[in-house]
Amino acid sequence: MTLDLRSADPGRPLPHALPDPEIHGLPRDFVWGAATSAYQIEGAVDIDGRTPSIWDTFSHTPGAVENDDHGDVACDHYHRMPDDVRLLAGLGLDAYRFSLSWPRVQPGGRGPANAKGLDFYDRLVDELLAKDITPWATLYHWDLPQELEDVGGWPERDTAYRFADYAELVAGRLGDRVRHWITLNEPFCSAILGYQIGCHAPGRKDFGAAVRAVHHLHLGHGLAVQRIRSVVPAPVQAGITFNPSQVYAASDAPENIDAARRADGMGLRLYLDPVLRGQYPQDVLADLAQLGVDVPVEAGDLDVIAQPLDFLGINYYLSDVVAAGDEPGRTVRIPQPDRPVTAMGWEIHPQGLTDLLTRISRDYPALPIYLTENGAAFDDSAYDVSAEGRIEDVDRTAYLADHLAAAGRAREAGADVRGFFAWSLMDNFEWAYGYAKRFGIVHVDYATQRRTPKQSALWLRDAAQATRKR
Ligand code: IFM
């Protein structure tokens, strides 16, 4: 069958040949994986004792999500998990990064574990291990129990302690088999998109609350690492995943250099400095103070937050060129028209990944880095479908190849990058965009729940194989 063959971006020529699966600079023991998150794929939102999360509430708020989509069914992974693990195994990947739904494991966010909820993840881990796939568990990928939001959510300090209790429940049960733990996914998104901009759950628009959320997410991370280490037998690998953007100043003009400093401060250093250096960046605190906002640090917090880690997770999608805006202290993003964009409108810039990884390993040394997410949404209906029914997603394949090559270049420049998780294993609920955007390397037909590996998935399989044979 042939569909209308158009590039997702009409201005961009389609690549003609598949990228070479031999990626320069990646070692034989590089970890190849794919990632998902609970609310985006599981569905089964009111089954086996699960209570609502802030994303259930938000997605059922009319107008909050494109097309009023929600995660009630999503990819129905809760019921199809063994098949999905078989699919993963068929792609020959080493590792699978998934997240646990907090309100499935601990309904309401307090008290004892919900046995049925925890059993689901227990079975998932066993299925993965039986197929030689290493589980990488993320404890929090944005689905705060609604009851905790009702008493203030992340802007309240108590949420950090609730998160630590939940972390201990999960790690205590799975820690005999799960070695790799990620406390938080992209705290920037939880705090800024959720509490300042309001385009993500819980949909609040309060900058002060967002900054308080940042600090309590950090605190929750540090407490959770302590709890994980207290219940998981060695050797445990504990880390956190951030999504910093690589920021460039639009010019050497001092006001643009300062705009880049501010953007880098709010997007990268506000997160990496407390967690990896045990201090907030002074210039960012000063910028915040000028806006009348304080970070609610209490005595001893930074020691808790800066727990020694075993790895750093980085999610990379885009970089930003910024300039000073018209009002003092305002930063504006300058679009780069020569860069192609994904279906999200995100500019494609693999060199930004090389620059980001090189910079992080220079400024925050001695920590192995894993790319815990990278990938792209494209309009799959624009591609050819092969005789076997596979989607020839040339743009996504090229995107993955270019970013893996960028990671290889960063390694050659000294960055200790050890693995790559494609976002995402399968098309899923893309938050405020609902099902309109497809990031999967496996296509999901939402009407039938049929999964079909796209060309990008098979290319990733071949790239992993080629690297292992070195
Ligand atoms: O889908 C998200 C994921 O949940 C977190 N990182 C970015 C992805 C694409 O937007």
Q: For residue 245, give both structure tokens.
A: 């953007």
pLDDT tens string, the chain, 470 residues long: the values are 222 223 334 344 445 578 999 999 999 999 999 999 999 999 999 999 999 999 999 999 999 999 999 999 999 999 999 999 999 999 999 999 999 999 999 999 999 999 999 999 999 999 999 999 999 999 999 999 999 999 999 999 999 999 999 999 999 999 999 999 999 999 999 999 999 999 999 999 999 999 999 999 999 999 999 999 999 999 999 999 999 989 999 999 999 999 999 999 999 999 999 999 999 999 999 999 999 999 999 999 999 999 999 999 999 999 999 999 999 889 999 999 999 999 999 999 999 999 999 999 999 999 999 999 999 999 998 888 888 888 999 999 999 999 999 999 999 999 999 999 999 999 999 999 999 999 999 999 999 999 999 999 999 999 999 999 88
Architecture of domain 31-381+419-447: Alpha-Beta Barrel (3.20)
Phi, psi of 311 (to 5 degrees): -160, 165
Residue 242 CA to ligand 1 center (angstroms) comes to 11
Largest CA distance in the chain: 65
List the catalytic residue out of 42, 149, 347, 373: 373
Which of 98, 315, 316 to probe ligand 1 with, by most ligand atoms within 8 A of CB?
Answer: 315
Nearest to 36 by CA among 86, 100, 123: 100
Nearest to 404 by CA among 31, 9, 8: 31
Q: Locate tokens 């046995």: which residue?
A: 115
Q: Is 278 exposed, middle or buried (0-12, 13-18, 19+ CB in 10 A)?
A: middle
The residue whose C-alpha atom lies closest to atom 4 belonging to ligand 1 is 37
DSSP-derived 3-state class of residue 206 = coil
CA 395 to chain centroid: 21
pTM over 0.85: yes
**Strands 311-315 and 369-374, how do they pair?**
parallel
Which of 143, 348, 430 to probe ligand 1 with, by most ligand atoms within 8 A of CB?
Answer: 430
For the beta sheet containing 331-333, the strands, ordered from the edge strand earlier in sequence to the opposite edge, are: 246-249, 319-324, 331-333
CA 290 to chain centroid: 31
Residue 430 CA to ligand 1 center (angstroms) comes to 7
Whether 373 is catalytic is yes
Whether 168 is catalytic is no
CB 450 within 8 A of CB 444: yes
The residue whose C-alpha atom lies closest to atom 9 belonging to ligand 1 is 430
CA distance 191 to 201: 10
